Amino acid sequence: MSKGPFQHLRTKLLAAMVAVVFFLTAGVLVLVQARMREHVRQDLVSTLRAESSATTQIEAARRAQAQQSAALIADQPILKALMSTNDRLTVEDGSESFFQSSPAGLVALENRKCELLAFN
């Protein structure tokens, strides 16, 4: 009879130890998961801010380059002579070479009254 309660006590002790180990392991895993989630979120926010900044800088450089290109084209004497005629057909015919050589996807030529003289 004494073996019965001893074995039963051993089983209870083993079950309690397994339960303690299980709950400790589960608790540690929950803490690790929460910290990893926060770390990943902070890393993602940092990466997005850096990429947003880089995109903004690239866009600003692209706009500056487009403005420089427009200024270079506008300063060409042939184009100034064409624009001084203020004749739509003359400007359209003469500006074809500017449209082909321009790196811009869109070129619009307007007079001082903002009237469109040529568009490509």
> For the segment 39-75, what is each residue's pLDDT rounded down to a tens digit?
999 999 999 999 999 999 999 999 998 888 878 877 8
pLDDT category, 4, cuts 50, 70, 90? low
**Do residues 109 and 95 touch, judged by C-beta distance below 8 A?**
yes
Range(s) of the domain holding residue 109? 76-120
Q: Is 71 a domain residue?
A: no
Share of the chain above pLDDT 70, in %: 92
User: Are 59 and 83 within one domain?
Assistant: no
Q: Tell me the whole-structure pTM to 2 decimals.
A: 0.54
Q: Helices 77-85 and 3-74, interaxial angle, to 10°?
A: 70
Task: Please state the domain count of the chain.
Answer: 2
Tell whether the model's pLDDT for residue 7 goes beyond 80.
no
- Residues 6+ away with beta carbon under 8 Å from 52: none
SS3 label, residue 118: strand
